[in-house]
Chains A and B, each alone.
Chain A
Amino acid sequence: MFAVRKLSLYIDRVNQQWVVQDPDGNFWTVPSDNNAWDQRQPFYPTEETELEPIPAHYKYTLGLPY
């Protein structure tokens, strides 16, 4: 049985940035760019962080690999 690789996409409105949760559960911020994934930075949500889910089809606009 192969592992399910699933990505979740969010907006952090306070800091006006995209946040990606990779299939391993890690969070990353990415810029609004075609090769956003290459420019990802680790992100550590706190209890105060409000992440707004974004439909998964937007992942293509950021060129995400999942």
Chain B
Amino acid sequence: MHTEQDRLEEARHNKAPWKKWGPYLSERQWGTVREDYSEGGNAWDYFSHDQARSRAYRWGEDGLAGISDDQQRLCFALALWNGTDPILKERLFGLTNSESNHGEDVKEYYFYLDSTPTHSYMKYLYKYPQAAYPYANLVETSRRRGRTEFEYELLDTGVFDENRYFDVFVEYAKESPEDLLIQISVHNRGPDAAELHVLPTLWFRNDWSWQGNPDRPLLEAVRRSGPGAKPQAAIVKAVHPKLGEYHLACEDEPPLLFTENETNMQRIFGVANRTPYVKDGINHYVVHGDQSAVNPENKGTKVAAHYRLRVEPGECQTIRLRLSKTQAAKPFADFDELLEGRHKQADEFYDTVIPRALSADQGNVMRQALAGMLWSKQFYHYDVDKWLEERGCDPFKANRKQAPRNDHWHHMYNGDVISMPDKWEYPWYAAWDLAFHVIALTLVDADFGKQQLKLMLRERYMHPNGQIPAYEWNFGDVNPPVHAWSTIFTYRLDKAQKGEGDTEWLKGNFQKLLLNFTWWVNRKDRNGRNIFEGGFLGLDNIGVFDRSAPLPTGGYLEQADGTAWMALFSQNMLEIAAELALTDPDYLDMALKFVEHFFWIASSMTHMAGDVGMWDDEDGFFYDVLRLPNGQAQRLKVRSMVGLLPLCAATTFEGALVARYPEIRERLKTFLDARPEIRAAIHDPAKPGVNGRRLASILDETKLRRVLAKMLDENEFLSEFGIRSLSRFHADHPYVFHAGGQDYRVAYLPAESDTGMFGGNSNWRGPIWMPVNALIIRALLQYYSYYGNDFTVECPTGSGQKMNLYQVAEEIARRLANIFLKDKDGRRPVYGGAQKFQEDPHWRDLILFYEYFHGDNGAGLGANHQTGWTGVVARSMHLFATMKPEVALEEGKKAYFETVADQQAGTAPAVPVLAGAGK
């Protein structure tokens, strides 16, 4: 029998398409930029949730607990009806950006419980109320609430009172790459028997209406014959001209309801339909009893099997289906055995991933984090040139209209499975998020991580000018350049696991990253002084002004974060070039180029030849510098993550390149001897550390100690749950800037944003964000491997407790993990005051990975399924459960990668995971 590792291996070598089917269906296609054809670009209002059941999508599909093939031609998902809702529950409901007091927010309870990297086993849970879903109440109450109030959640409506809801588990298991077993288990958690309509639905993405395609796919009922065929199952045959033929077997012969995945023109546009069978036909049949809404000829492009269950209190009923390339005579004969077998293999796989040193609760958190990462894959389809043309904005036509966005990205054709930040709130890729996703995803699937990084650099994504696309709302926004870091991390991990590095992959990425580096240098360094701008740079409201808009003072900002990101980018490019130069001398000059470029950038942060620089010696911190039109300059003294990022630009070097090419030592010496001001401005790159390592760092030891003193001060950045994005100092000392008769103010705000800046749905003025914490941990480990055990600091500042920098990193990681783990009272900080999540046995071990966390109490905030970059917590948990500081000190950065390889090869023991999660 195959193991999951075998399947990964076969997929890698294209021997079997184990990743062809997966959870690639989005959870929200409505309200996206792709589906928006409005004049003004108001995507949320143009294509609403209310329209979604009736209007065919142009670019993708969505559904509940769904799957599709990797080109999303054929989709499968769940629909439910409790007999009281006004519509079928075919997709998750949530509030749009303007409807909620803190921006868009999904108002449902669903959980990604498990997944293997090939999706050979997956498990999902949806909690469906038995009473009518309070659509209007959620909208109206949320609209009335102000920005300083809490969000109005589904639990607050009382619809889950007395546990009157169903737990609906959906499990998938692959017998073979194109043979999928599907089990739906319905538990009635309420005190009374209740009826539930369960409608497993199969449909084709509409790829025929929009292109005049005569090759239309078809779903039709199949009459079975032969022994054992009846009464076991109803069968649907699915034929797609490109995908081929599939069969869906539905146990117990439920009625099949057929319609077309085509727009209900009458409802949406007020004109007659060409066919009575339209996208919402099944909804009309089930909810309104409209017999004419489904095709009696049993064919179409959308079909649902109609199961009606009456579930007693505490009872569980199951439904079994099988979607396969070939039609089995007895599709359910071996079903239970196969499903259980795949589940067991998933456990065995995670036994090799989750370190034994972790507790059962930690193992549960880590496994659900990885399940969330894997469930967040989505087929993303967007042909920007076509999209522009369809809205009358064809970039090559003279009489074109201006598009509301993405006008300059007409080269883009996206049609790939991509790791999403959150398949409901952010069902579109975000380039810098993706680099962090890879750090976590490579715990289970290095191939997928490599493919994702390369994808963003392909000519169908990267702009011809070298810019990496940010996200569909504006591909031209500027996000931090973290791809090179993710690339070298992934390369080293892959190299340790496979025994040799994939240098071809590394070279390919390096060439493209070089374009991106050059784009930054030529576009974001205004005066050619190695000082960078970039605007908001992913940190939304962190500045006193909107950093992406023209400043109210005029002039411009020299950004500490922008410059620090570029220093780190230089270091990462140097690491890549140095690795490649070990076997290919052509890369030696590139390595030297990035050494020098790092020196220029790093020194520019502090050495300004008497001018105002970013380093404030009085405060011991880095700040953005405001340069006014009259030539004056001043630091904007907001103590924020902006000023901590220079600390993150730190990388150690083992000396392998110098050992291979001794002559470069002299070249570097000549360079530095001629520029003593550089050597004085940054950490001395020639000074050896532990084991002769060299350190590239903006901060010398003095500056490092001063910044760490603030970062590790619980009255400033260090919270019980990680490093805050803004110092708590500003709670009592708001930063106020006067300009144009107006006060601009930044105060510590540990929870949600109180302004509408950047959509108002995220907040960098106090909360804890996982990705930047991950970078801080990375940097501390770099400093540790250079300075060693003798470099200690007080942690927390003022506590009298001394720690070396490994211990500091571990302490931060411990605090971050504690967001999700049960405390001594059995409560998970992530759930704050949500009693149901804290106390109910059917809720308390289900973990949601939020977008960011309350700066004081760790409660989850923002998008609640952003396993995306928050999933990085799985990597930090893994790292400190497997690494030993003495090994890190002895072997440097390769220590961790080799530990991972040993563990996954089975030479390291494993930990049993919490068996009860999600049962």
Is B390 within 8 A of A16, CB to CB?
Answer: no
Is B390 within 8 A of A61, CB to CB?
Answer: no
Is B390 within 8 A of A55, CB to CB?
Answer: yes
Is B398 within 8 A of A54, CB to CB?
Answer: no
Is A56 within 8 A of B389, CB to CB?
Answer: yes
When A and B form their complex, what is the total count of cross-chain residue pairs whose Cβ atoms lie within 8 Å?
Answer: 54
Q: Bound state CA distance, A17 and B212, in angstroms?
A: 21
Q: Bound state CA distance, A59 and B391, in angstroms?
A: 12
Is A16 within 8 A of B272, CB to CB?
Answer: yes
Is A32 within 8 A of B37, CB to CB?
Answer: no
Q: Name the residue of chain A whose CB is nearest to the CB of B210.
A: A57
Q: Bound state CA distance, A33 and B398, in angstroms?
A: 32
Task: Answer yes or no: A44 CB below 8 A from chain B CBs.
Answer: no
Question: Size class of B's contact patch?
Answer: 20 to 34
Residues of B within 8 A of A4 (CB): 397-399
- B37, B272, B397: the one contacting A31 at CB < 8 Å is B272
Q: Bound state CA distance, A6 and B399, in angstroms?
A: 10
- A6, A32, A55, A58: the one contacting B273 at CB < 8 Å is A32
Is A32 within 8 A of B271, CB to CB?
Answer: yes
Most buried by A among B39, B270, B397: B270
- A13, A57, A63: the one contacting B390 at CB < 8 Å is A57
Question: Size class of A's contact patch?
Answer: 20 to 34
Task: Answer yes or no: A49 CB below 8 A from chain B CBs.
Answer: no
Is B389 within 8 A of A16, CB to CB?
Answer: no
Task: Answer yes or no: A18 CB below 8 A from chain B CBs.
Answer: yes
CB within 8 Å of A: which of B36-73? 37, 39, 58
Residues of A within 8 A of B210 (CB): 57-58, 60
Task: Answer yes or no: B209 CB below 8 A from chain A CBs.
Answer: yes
- B58, B265, B271: the one contacting A57 at CB < 8 Å is B58
Is B209 within 8 A of A16, CB to CB?
Answer: no
Taking chain B's interface residues, is the majority helix, strand, or loop, or is none over half, making it mixed? Answer: loop
Residues of A within 8 A of B341 (CB): none
* Contacts A56-B389, A56-B391 given; does A32 touch B399 at CB 8 Å: no
Task: Answer yes or no: A45 CB below 8 A from chain B CBs.
Answer: no
Task: Answer yes or no: B733 CB below 8 A from chain A CBs.
Answer: no
Q: Bound state CA distance, A11 and B268, in angstroms?
A: 11
Is A54 within 8 A of B269, CB to CB?
Answer: yes
Is B274 within 8 A of A32, CB to CB?
Answer: yes
- B209, B274, B391, B399: the one contacting A33 at CB < 8 Å is B274
Query: In whole Å, how far is A4's beta carbon from the nearest beta carbon of chain B?
Result: 5
* Contacts A4-B399, A32-B265 given; does A56 touch B392 at CB 8 Å: yes
Q: Bound state CA distance, A13 and B269, in angstroms?
A: 7
Is A55 within 8 A of B37, CB to CB?
Answer: yes
Q: Name the residue of chain B whose CB is nearest to the CB of A1.
A: B398
- B209, B263, B271: the one contacting A60 at CB < 8 Å is B209
Residues of A within 8 A of B262 (CB): 61
Binary flags per residue of B377-395, CB closer than 8 Å to A gives 1, else 0 = 0000000000001111000
Is A11 within 8 A of B271, CB to CB?
Answer: yes
Residues of B within 8 A of A8 (CB): 392
Is A18 within 8 A of B397, CB to CB?
Answer: no
Residues of B within 8 A of A34 (CB): 274
Most buried by B among A4, A52, A55, A56: A55
Taking chain A's interface residues, is the majority helix, strand, or loop, or is none over half, making it mixed? Answer: mixed
* Contacts A11-B270, A32-B274, A55-B58 given; does A6 touch B392 at CB 8 Å: yes
Q: Name the residue of chain A whose CB is nearest to the CB of B391.
A: A55
Q: Name the residue of chain A whose CB is nearest to the CB of B211.
A: A60
Is A61 within 8 A of B209, CB to CB?
Answer: yes
Query: In whole Å, how far is B264's beta carbon from the nearest beta carbon of chain A?
Result: 12
Q: Bound state CA distance, A8 and B401, in angstroms?
A: 12
Residues of A within 8 A of B209 (CB): 57-58, 60-61
Q: Name the residue of chain B whose CB is nearest to the CB of A4.
A: B397
Most buried by A among B211, B269, B274, B391: B269
Q: Name the residue of chain B whose CB is nearest to the CB of A5.
A: B397
Query: In whole Å, how far is A51's beta carbon from the nearest beta carbon of chain B?
Result: 12
Task: Answer yes or no: A42 CB below 8 A from chain B CBs.
Answer: no
Query: In whole Å, how far is A24's beta carbon from the nearest beta carbon of chain B?
Result: 13
Q: Bound state CA distance, A58 and B209, in angstroms?
A: 7
CB within 8 Å of B: which of A21-66? 31-34, 52-58, 60-61, 63
Q: Bound state CA distance, A17 and B272, in angstroms?
A: 8
Q: Bound state CA distance, A17 and B266, in angstroms?
A: 10
* Contacts A33-B274, A56-B391 given; does A11 touch B399 at CB 8 Å: no
Is B274 within 8 A of A61, CB to CB?
Answer: yes
Query: In whole Å, how far is A39's beta carbon from the nearest beta carbon of chain B?
Result: 13
Binary flags per residue of B390-419, CB closer than 8 Å to A gives 1, else 0 = 111000011100000000000000000000
Residues of A within 8 A of B58 (CB): 55, 57
Q: Name the residue of chain A whose CB is nearest to the CB of B36.
A: A55
Query: In whole Å, how far is A5's beta carbon from the nearest beta carbon of chain B?
Result: 10
Query: In whole Å, how far is A17's beta carbon from the nearest beta carbon of chain B?
Result: 6
Residues of A within 8 A of B398 (CB): 4
Query: In whole Å, how far is B110's beta carbon from the nearest beta carbon of chain A?
Result: 31
Residues of B within 8 A of A33 (CB): 274
Query: In whole Å, how far is A37's beta carbon from the nearest beta carbon of chain B?
Result: 12
* Contacts A4-B399, A60-B211, A61-B274 given; does A11 touch B391 at CB 8 Å: no
Residues of B within 8 A of A57 (CB): 58, 209-211, 390
Residues of A within 8 A of B269 (CB): 11, 13, 52, 54
Residues of B within 8 A of A32 (CB): 265, 271-274
Q: Bound state CA distance, A8 and B37, in angstroms?
A: 13
Q: Name the residue of chain A whose CB is nearest to the CB of B35.
A: A55
Residues of B within 8 A of A18 (CB): 271
Residues of A within 8 A of B271 (CB): 11, 16-18, 32
Query: In whole Å, how far is B277's beta carbon from the nearest beta carbon of chain A?
Result: 14
Q: Bound state CA distance, A6 and B273, in angstroms?
A: 25
Query: In whole Å, how far is A49's beta carbon from the nearest beta carbon of chain B?
Result: 14
Residues of A within 8 A of B265 (CB): 32
Query: In whole Å, how far is B376's beta carbon from the nearest beta carbon of chain A?
Result: 28
Query: In whole Å, how far is A29's beta carbon from the nearest beta carbon of chain B?
Result: 10
CB within 8 Å of A: which of B476-518? none
Residues of A within 8 A of B273 (CB): 32
- Other A-B contacts than A60-B209, A60-B212, A60-B213, 16 sampled, CB-CB below 8 A, are A4-B399, A6-B392, A6-B399, A31-B272, A32-B265, A32-B271, A32-B274, A55-B37, A55-B58, A55-B390, A56-B390, A57-B58, A57-B390, A58-B210, A61-B263, A61-B274
Q: List 27 A-B contacts (CB under 8 A).
A: A4-B399, A6-B392, A6-B397, A8-B392, A11-B269, A11-B270, A13-B269, A16-B270, A16-B271, A17-B271, A31-B272, A32-B265, A32-B271, A32-B272, A52-B269, A55-B37, A56-B392, A57-B58, A57-B209, A57-B210, A58-B210, A60-B209, A60-B212, A60-B213, A61-B209, A61-B263, A61-B274
The 4 A-B pairs of least Cβ separation, nearest first, read A55-B37, A57-B210, A60-B212, A56-B390
